[in-house]
Structure 1
């Protein structure tokens, strides 16, 4: 409980609530004690789980990552602040698909694997749509060198699916920002923030 100068409850739940009208999201993260295991982030609002994988942790992905999903391969920042990115999808065995590309190329130091945290996971049409939307986001981002040159063809979705997938897309953007890979473009950022 937060009180004003006169002792009245002002109803704010946390200091973050002071940021007027911000759309805040809470993630749950599983951070293993040892450095040799991936960090897994859960977004209950978007029903997603994401594994943050470094080269040394890729071999420790569990069986839950053997189903379909989306992955992003991430490169380190260069002298101008740009970072590389590549997007891919897997209908099955996301761990195998992502880690084979990840470990075979020196350009990437980290991968982000994303799956629905539900019984049935993503359909191939949903993965195609997400990959296309993420391609647009990364292509427009200020400091990203996207290695996917051709935008994937987006599948046709049912009328309610884009709303659900927009939540997933926003969650992916926020996890990327959390791990130091901001996807905003020039007009998204506050110049005063530096």
Structure 2
């Protein structure tokens, strides 16, 4: 299954050390993009069940590594802080949790299902090297539960693309998309505006004839 792009709302703090919060519009998933150097600043509100990706920096060919994990109790914050000690390859973490209602969280089965589906999707991507030794054993959920969790998966590819982690190589001949976000536009003369009067040409000094010797 290929994840469809989803409209995202990105919140940036004035303090550059704070994580980047990402919300999928009209979806239930809340996401947080966390730099490794600032992991200790993660709010305790993220100590809830969920899934996460530990991301390696892309190389010169656009390939990147990732580790897919889940957190149950005590939660994502505790698990990420533990991964600071256990794994030294990642530079960013993408955290995913339930965010529509403060009184509800994902349960351990739902977090495990997300972990397994994220692993499957990244395993098919030709730009990703997974660091998991084995595929996570996600539990079986009912059709209704799986349908409700699809909303968590849809924004993930959009977020990865947003931060420069593409899943598939660029097709040959495709536009690079690497130009400036804002192109300089030359002003055009207004249709009803009269043309400016011609400017006088300054007098030129007389040209002396050059004599050539025979």
TM-score range, shorter chain: 0.7 to 0.9
Match of 1:63 among 23, 29, 44: 44
> What CA distance in whole angstroms lies between the structure 2 residues aligned with 1:77 and 1:175?
15
Deviations 1:131-178 (A, max 9, x none): 111111111111111011311122111221222222211112221111
Which residue of structure 1 aligns with residue 69 of structure 2?
88
User: Which consecutive unaligned segments of at least 5 residues does structure 2 have?
Assistant: 177-214
Q: 1:190 to 1:161 in 2, by over 3 A?
A: farther
Which residue of structure 1 aligns with residue 159 of structure 2?
175
RMSD (Å), alpha carbons: 1.9
Return the TM-score normalized by structure 2.
0.72
Q: 1:91 to 1:155 in 2, by over 3 A?
A: same
Match of 2:116 among 120, 128, 132: 132
User: Which consecutive unaligned segments of at least 5 residues does structure 1 have?
Assistant: 1-22
DSSP-derived class of the 1:171 partner: helix
- Any residues of structure 2 matched to 1:25-174 within 5 Å, and which? 25-92=6-73, 93-102=75-84, 104-117=86-99, 118=101, 119-174=103-158
Q: Which runs of 4+ in 1 moved over 4 A?
A: none
DSSP-derived class of the 1:142 partner: coil
Q: Tell me if the contact between 1:85 and 1:145 (Cα under 8 Å) persists in the aligned partners.
A: yes
DSSP-derived class of the 1:121 partner: coil
Return the TM-score normalized by structure 1.
0.79
